[in-house]
Each structure stands twice: as C-alpha cells, then as structure tokens.
C-alpha cells in the first residue's frame, strides 16, 4: 500500500492544499492565492496602500480652522518642536515651547518619530517646521509630505507586523484554506477605522498598533523576550497601548508559572521590559523632575473623565448620573480604575489558569474593550484598540466582526463628519461589506454558525440587532439632514453614543463568555479524539 506524502508547508505558503477548498472559492480567488501567502499579502498590501492614498486626498482634522486647527497641526507642531529644541525641552513649558499650544502628550517614542519625520520635512520643505512661523502651516507640499509620513509608517511598520502575524497564526492552525488566509489579510490591512483615523483624520496609530501586532505574533511563535521588547516599544509610543496590558501580563504570567523555574522566567521577561524602557526613556532618566514632567504630560486628568460623546460607560450613563458634578476628579480616577480592573479580571484569570494562543487573542479583545468602556479619558478613536483585536480573530468571530465594524464606524461618525470625511466613511463601509461577503469568508461563517446560533437563541437578540441596525440607518440620515433643537444641540450624538454603547457592552459579555468556554471546548475535543 502506497503511503501518501504529507503536504509541505514553507514560510511562504502556510495554507492548506488547494484540494481542501470548494470549487467556487478556488475559481474566484485563484488569481490572488495560487502563489502562496506572501504573494497574496503583497497584492492586498498594494491595494490597501492605494485605498489609504485615496483617503488621504480628503480633508484632515482641523483643516483651515484657526487658531489651533486640529490633530494634523498637533503632529506637525511636534515635528517643529523636536527638530528645533534640545531633547530635554520637548516636554517642558517655556518661551519656545508653549505647552498650551499642542504640547507633546505622548511618550518619548512618539517624540523620536516626530523628530525623524520632522527631519524629512525640513529637507524638502523647511518652512513647514520652522520654529514659531510654521504654526498653522498648510502648504500643498507640506500636507503632501505629512501624508507620506503616515503612508510610509504603515508600509514599514504595520504591514510587516501584519505579515508576521498572518504567517505565524496560520502556520499554527490545523487547516487554513488559501482563500481564508487572503480574506483574513484583507480584514487586517483594510481595517476601515484605522484607515479613516490615520489617513483621514490624521494620526500615527499604525506605529503603536504595528508594534503591538508584532508583539502578538511573537507570543504565537513563543518568543516571549521579543514580545516584551515590542510591546514595551508600543507602550513607549502611545500610552493607549496599555489597553492590551492585562492580556499580555496574564498570558505571559500563566506561561511562566508552568515553567520549570517560574521565577527565573518572570525575571528574564522583566529585564527585557526594563532594558527597553530605559533605552527609550534615557534622556529623561537623569533627573526625577524630568521623568515626572514627562509622566504628567501623559495623564491629562484635568480634561475630565470623558470628552465629546464617546460610546463608553461614563459618557453614556452621564445622561442620568452627572459624574463630573457628583464626584471629584480623584474619586473618578479611583472609580474608573476599579471598574476597568474588574472588567478585565475575568479574562486575566482565565489566561493565568489556562494560557493558550486563542485565549490570548480573546484576552486582547476583552481587555481592550474593558479599557474602552470603563477607563479614564477615553476618546472616540480608542475603539481602534478592541477593533484591531477583533480583526486578528476575524476567522473565529466573522459574524460578530461584521456587526462590530458597523458600530465601531458609527461611533466615530460625528467626528468624521466634522472632519468632512463623509464620502470616505461611506466608501470604506461599502468596501468592507464587499470584502466581508467575499468567498474567503464562506468557510469561517459555516464553522461559526453553531456558536452564533447559540447566542442568537437568547430572547430578543436577533430582534434587538435588527432594530438597532434600522435605527442607526435612520440616525445617519437624520444627523445629515435635520438641525437638532436649540435646547438639545447634541441630541443626535447622544443617541449614536447610546446605540453603540449598548452593542459594545453586549459584545463584551459574549467575548468574555467565549474566552471562558475555550478550555471546556478543548477538553471535549480531546475526549472525542
């Protein structure tokens, strides 16, 4: 009897043999997937860069609105400050650095990134970063160069990290069809929320999120020291990366506790974290005052527990409970910290008791959603953190990813309208819908249909989702066409906030429940085998 040779898997092709897929899927995706994962990734990457370039041709935050403009001017101003002042003065209020005018309020790695990009701007367009005189600079060349800095950051940091994740993730899966892999890549690289915020509104979230994705991929390939270095860099770029901290901490601790020498394992990771932070923060470690000065810029407690109309617990419930009037800022800091820890705790406990790669990915989603819902001073853009985690789990929760994408986009709808990004918002929503329903998702939906059905069996769940959807459609039209009453000028924003929060809280309950059931499912599968 002739033995069949097992299929070979190279670093370039981590997918299952073509014969495992349906005919329709092969015919539709053959042109993209027949040469392997890396080739598929490069093709989708080029398309993703094209979409980003198209969005970058639209307005940005604060375009032409003096005196402070918006996030675009903030990023440009940081380039101005870092290229003209000594490192020690970047966070210090003074004659040449007025902190009330877009003072640096992110960790040092963001400052270094601003310096690097500022050097590029100074070479090609010196007046765009000239000290004082460049405030509000909006020349065509200056804007073009600024947009290119974001595109290059995406191409050199976020995209390679995404490729690293995809190769590791699908190598570890029992079977990954080529169409599934291509669809998964598209879900990560064509993340509509990230594209709209970074290339429309204007920010550099792709850097911190890229470092985070790299750290996640390092976890999946069991490179814990690399994980600590990359995640420490992400934290040193944007403090919002702390949204993922409970998941990283609990998963790594759970694995260390199962080692032969757990104390040594923990110490090794601790040294990696400390060394990375010391290198990044070195200019500000010579003086306690300098170190505390930078830290004080990273925690804007004076702004209050929330701003604008963000779809989290504090802002939504403030309609009934006037948190800012009833409690002092220190009290609200304590309350929000306690609520965030409690919301993160179930996910953390599960990973400490039973660490696994899939559980870790759910942990990232649950901890980032807990921070978004309950932490202090959350912005609409913070939904990028849990949404990134959801795209990494796209093949596990395809049905829920569809709903989450819709509500994540809708939660930012008023912000994007203010930035005059309505057309990119609608276009990217349509593009996501088309890609989501492409053949690569067919298998994922079939695999998860049973779990989705169990959730749908809860009384009124499907009716609630459908009602939500129709109400949001009406709200889109109402927001664009009807003036709110003078007595309640932000009533439409409040309604959007309530609808999105109600979905986010349901989604958080579902994903926490799913994470806790992973170990029981694994036990059942072992018994079945």
Dihedral over Cα of 46, 47, 48, 53: its sign: positive
Detail the DSSP E strand segments found in 217-374. Answer: none
Please report the pLDDT score of residue 300 as a whole number: 78
Dihedral over Cα of 474, 475, 477, 483: its sign: positive
Contacts of 4 (CB under 8 A, 6+ apart): none
Nearest CA among 391, 382, 385, 413 for reference residue 494:
413
Strand, coil or helix: 482? coil
Please report the pLDDT score of residue 8 as a whole number: 43
CB 59 within 8 A of CB 419: yes
- Each residue of 63-80: pLDDT tens digit? 999 988 999 999 999 999
CB 72 within 8 A of CB 146: yes
- Each residue of 315-367: pLDDT tens digit? 999 999 999 999 999 999 999 999 999 999 999 999 999 999 999 999 999 99
Q: Which helix (H) or strand (E) holds 363?
A: helix 357-374
Secondary structure string (H, E, C) spanning 422-481 = HHHHHHHHHHHHHHHCCHHHHHHHHHHHHHHHHHHCCCCHHHHHHHHHHHHHHHHHHHHH
Q: Quote the percentage of the chain above a pLDDT of 70.
A: 86
| pTM confidence score | 0.91
Q: How confident is the model at residue 179 (pLDDT cuts 50, 70, 90)?
A: confident
CB 323 within 8 A of CB 317: yes
Helices assigned H by DSSP within 64-124: 71-84, 108-124
Q: Which range in 12-21, 42-51, 462-471 is most confidently predicted, on average pLDDT?
A: 42-51
CB 206 within 8 A of CB 150: yes
Give, as one character, the DSSP assignment of residue 16.
P
CB 144 within 8 A of CB 57: no
- Each residue of 290-301: pLDDT tens digit? 999 999 999 878
Q: How confident is the model at residue 469 (pLDDT cuts 50, 70, 90)?
A: confident
Look up residue 258 and give its two tokens: 């199962």
Nearest CA among 439, 446, 451, 357 for reference residue 180:
439
Q: Which helix (H) or strand (E) holds 526?
A: helix 491-528
Please report the pLDDT score of residue 10 as a whole number: 42
Strand partners, 306: 378
Peptide bond between residue 525 and the one before it cis (omega within 30 degrees of 0): no
CB 56 within 8 A of CB 38: no
Q: Cα separation of 228 and 232, whole Å?
A: 6
- Each residue of 19-68: pLDDT tens digit? 444 444 444 555 566 667 888 899 999 999 999 999 999 999 999 999 88
Give, as one character, the DSSP assignment of residue 484.
P
Nearest CA among 375, 316, 369, 374 for reference residue 498:
316
pLDDT (average), residues 472-485:
94
**Lowest pLDDT segment from 20-34, 159-173, 183-197:** 20-34
Please report the pLDDT score of residue 4 as a whole number: 43
For the chain, what is the mean pLDDT? Answer: 88
Residue 513 has pLDDT above 90, yes or no: yes
Look up residue 509 and give its two tokens: 């309950």
Q: How many C-alpha atoms does 356 have within 13 Å on its Cβ side?
A: 16
């Amino acid at each position: 009897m002739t033995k069949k040779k097992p299929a070979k898997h190279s670093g370039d092709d981590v997918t299952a043999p073509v014969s495992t897929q349906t005919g329709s899927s092969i015919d539709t995706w053959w042109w993209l997937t027949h040469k392997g994962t890396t080739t598929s990734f490069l093709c989708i990457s080029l398309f993703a860069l094209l979409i980003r370039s198209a969005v970058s041709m639209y307005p940005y935050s604060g375009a032409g609105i003096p005196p402070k403009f918006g996030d675009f001017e903030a990023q440009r101003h940081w380039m101005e400050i870092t290229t003209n002042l000594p490192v020690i003065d970047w966070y210090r209020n003074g004659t040449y650095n007025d902190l009330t005018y877009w003072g640096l309020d992110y960790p040092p790695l963001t400052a270094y990134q601003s310096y690097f990009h500022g050097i590029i701007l100074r070479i090609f367009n010196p007046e765009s970063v000239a000290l004082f005189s460049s405030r509000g600079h909006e020349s065509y060349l200056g804007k073009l160069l600024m947009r290119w800095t974001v595109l290059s950051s995406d191409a050199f940091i976020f995209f390679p990290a995404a490729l690293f994740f995809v190769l590791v993730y699908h190598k570890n899966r029992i079977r990954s069809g080529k169409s599934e892999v291509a669809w998964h890549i598209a879900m990560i690289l064509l993340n509509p929320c990230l594209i709209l915020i970074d290339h429309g509104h204007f920010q550099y979230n792709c850097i911190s999120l890229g470092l985070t994705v790299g750290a996640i991929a390092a976890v999946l390939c069991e490179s814990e020291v690399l994980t600590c270095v990359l995640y420490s860099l992400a934290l040193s770029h944007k403090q919002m990366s702390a949204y993922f901290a409970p998941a990283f901490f609990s998963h790594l601790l759970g694995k260390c506790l199962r080692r032969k020498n757990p104390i040594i394992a923990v110490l090794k990771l601790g040294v990696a974290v400390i060394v990375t932070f010391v290198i990044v923060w070195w200019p500000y470690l010579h003086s306690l005052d300098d170190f505390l000065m930078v830290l004080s810029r990273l925690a804007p407690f004076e702004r209050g527990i929330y701003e604008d109309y963000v779809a989290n617990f504090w802002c939504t419930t403030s309609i009934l409970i006037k948190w800012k009037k009833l409690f002092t800022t220190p009290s609200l800091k304590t309350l929000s910290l306690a609520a965030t820890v409690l919301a993160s705790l179930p996910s953390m406990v599960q990973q400490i008791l039973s660490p696994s790669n899939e559980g870790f990915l759910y942990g990232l989603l649950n901890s980032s959603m807990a921070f978004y819902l309950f932490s202090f001073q959350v912005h609409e853009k913070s939904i990028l953190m849990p949404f990134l985690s959801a795209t990494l789990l796209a093949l596990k929760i395809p049905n829920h990813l569809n709903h989450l994408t819709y509500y994540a986009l809708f939660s930012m709808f008023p912000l994007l309208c203010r930035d005059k990004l309505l057309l990119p918002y609608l276009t990217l929503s349509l593009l996501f819908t088309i890609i989501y329903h492409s053949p690569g998702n067919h298998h994922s939906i079939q695999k998860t249909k049973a779990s989705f059905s169990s959730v749908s069996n809860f009384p009124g769940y499907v009716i609630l989702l459908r009602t939500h959807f129709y109400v949001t459609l009406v709200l889109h039209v109402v927001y664009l066409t009807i003036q709110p009453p003078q007595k309640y000028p932000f009533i439409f924003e409040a309604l959007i906030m309530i609808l999105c929060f109600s979905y986010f809280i349901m989604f958080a309950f579902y994903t926490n429940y799913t994470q806790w059931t992973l170990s029981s499912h694994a036990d059942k599968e072992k018994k079945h085998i």
